[in-house]
A and B are shown apart, each in its own frame.
Chain A
Amino acid sequence: MPREETSEFELEMPAQAKYVGLARLLAGSIARRMRFSEESIDDLKIAISEMCTNAIVHTGNGDATKPPILVRYLAGDGFLTIEVRDRGPGFDPACVLDREREDLLGKGFGIPLIRSLVDVFECDSRPGSGTVISITKFVEEG
């Protein structure tokens, strides 16, 4: 089987809730072209929705004067990586586990939900320098 070329797409969007659907739509379209199953496409749409929602909340929660969010889609040979980068205040990545616990205790279900729907979850954040959350999902064999 010939290896497929890697394609990269970028979406720079204002940190506003009304644009989350657009990021989701693009993720669904790319995943469908890559022949992900419908269930995996749903998983990716939920994951990117969570990632963008987190980024918006941490970048001024809809304040139009705040810096935009960058969403990067990397469609490779059998995998799709989506990276959401914000220029919010950032946090100590060691706190992710604490945030998960906090999420499950009532502030939301975001990060645990993302983790359960994708194959790889990575978070890079430092106080003062924004946050990059990256997920990868592999196309199912067969």
Chain B
Amino acid sequence: MVEEERGGTVLDVEVGSVGGRSLIALSGEVDVYSAYKLRETVKNLVEEGHYDLVVDLEKVAFLDSTGLGVLVGGLKRVRNHGGELSIICNQEKILRIFRITGLTKVFPIYASREELQAKVEEA
């Protein structure tokens, strides 16, 4: 069900940390109306010197190519600084979009924050 915010799509963005990296936890729908929130969050974090980012999509109900474009833009931005942008997602409907567009080969994708944390500790 789409929630409405001033007539548009709702997307909540929370910033935290996981495994020593900056975490962007999204909740809601990412489309042409709401994606600017993610874009601005990534931009601000990079400007503050955070180059290893993790975007958690577990609570994302909808993601289209505008959202994918913002993630790819964020990846390019952090890689320019030697960083990485990883994805946390275990939802088949979202993962399918990454597979169709070939982005599973571009982003490191983890099923949970715990899995990412474990990989970081292993390394």
Contact = CB atoms under 8 A, between A and B. Distances in A.
Main secondary structure on B side of the interface with A: mixed
For B4, B7, B33, B64, the residue with the greatest tally of chain A CB atoms inside 10 Å of its CB is B64
Interface residues of B, number: 22
Given A39-B93, A42-B93, A113-B97, A21 B65 contact: no
B96 to A, nearest CB: 8
A17 B68 CA distance: 16
Contacts of A24: 2, 31, 62
Contacts of A112: 100-101
Nearest to A46: B64
A18 interface: yes
B108 to A, nearest CB: 19
Interface of A: 17-22, 24-25, 39, 42, 45-46, 49-50, 52-53, 56-57, 106, 108-110, 112-113, 116-117
Interface of B: 1-2, 4, 6-9, 29, 31-33, 62, 64-66, 68-69, 72, 93, 97, 100-101
